[in-house]
Amino acid sequence: MRVYLDNAATTPMDAEVMKVMCNVMENHFGNPSSIHAHGREARALIEKSRKIIASLLHTSPAEIFFTSSGTEADNMAIRCGMVDNNITHAITTRLEHHAVIHTFEAMEKAGTVKVSYLDVDDKGNIDFDQLENILQNNERSFVSLMHANNEIGILTDIVRVGDLCEQYNAVFHCDTVQTMGHYPHDLSKLKMHFLTCAAHKFHGPKGVGFLYINHKIKIKPLIYGGAQERNMRGGTENLYGIAGLAKAIEMAYADMEQHHVYIQGLKSYMIGQLQANIPGVLFNGEIDQDKSLYTVLNVSFPETDIADMLLFNLDIAGISASGGSACSSGTDIGSHVLTAIGASSTRPSVRFSFSKYNTKEEIDFVVGKLKELFTVKA
C-alpha cells in the first residue's frame, strides 16, 4: 500500500482536468498571438478560461494575468508592485514562502527596500497591533502576508489585514497558493491589490498559475518579450495549462463545501488517532478548525534516534509526506517556519497534507506505521 499525504506540495490531477488538457493539445495547437483561425481559436480558449476564473473570484477578467507558477506571480507582485509605485518599505513575516522571503531579501540586499518582519506567536499568529503601528510610522508600505502557511497551516485574517492596509494607504499582496480552490475568495469585497495562485495545489496542472492585479494599481511587466497577457507578461501562453487551471478551479468551487467537510474530518480523525497511539505527540501551529488550513497537519513527534531518518522510514513504509525540524544553528538546513515559531530543533516534525482522494483507511495505515516506528525505535 502506498499513501500520498503531501498534497500541500502538489496534488494529483483530476481526470476531468486531464481530458480538457488533452483535447486542447490535440485540437487547439495554434499560437494565441496569431491572427489566423487556429490562433483565434487558441485565443478564445484563453479568454474563456480567464472569464471562468474572474467569475468565480467576483472580479473582472482584465484583472487576471496568467503566469508559470505561484512563485513567478509572487515575484511579479512584489518587485513590480514596489518598484513601479516607488514604495521602499515592506512588511512581511518569517513564515512566508521562500518565493516571498527570498525576493525581499534580494531587494533589501540591493539597497532598494527596507523590510520589517512582524512578530509571530508560537502558533504562527501575527501581531496586528504591531502591524498597525508599523503602518502608522511609515509613509507607504507594501504588505505581503499569506492567507495560509504551507507548513503549519495557520490562517491569517486577510479581511482585517486588508482593512488596515486601506486605512493606511498600503499595498496588500496576498499569497493564496494554499487556499485557492479550498476557500472562496470574493475579490469584490477583499481589500487587496495582488493575489497569487498555482493550479497544481487544487488538482490542476503544474507550470501554470495566475496573478490578480487590482485595477487601482499599475505596474510594468516583470518579463518582457511580447504583447501577451495584454502587454503584462511576455512569452507564448501555456494554452493547455491555462485550460486545465480553469477546469480545476471550476471543479474545486463546485464541490468546495463538501470537500471541506470531508477533508476536515480526515484531519480531525488523524489528530485523535495520533494522540491516542503516540504518547508525547504535539502539533505545530493551530489545530482549531477556524484558525487552521483544513488540508494541513504539522506533527511534532517525541525525540528519537531516528529523527533524521523519519521521512525516509515513512517512505520505505509506503507513506509520502514532508517535513523536518527547526534549525538549531545558522548553518542548519531546517524549516524556517518551525524556527520562526520557536519549535524544538530536537523533535522531528512531519507535515501531512490531505486531499479529497485520501481515506480514513489510509490514515489508520499511517498511524499504525508511526506507532511501530516509535514503539520499536524511540
Residues annotated catalytic, as ranges: 327
Q: Name 160's Cβ contacts closer than 8 Å, sequence gap at least 6.
A: 128
Check if the beta carbon of residue 233 is closer than 8 Å to that of residue 67: yes
Angle (nearest 5°) at CA 127 between 138 and 284? 140
**Cα–Cα dist 257/185, whole Å:** 13
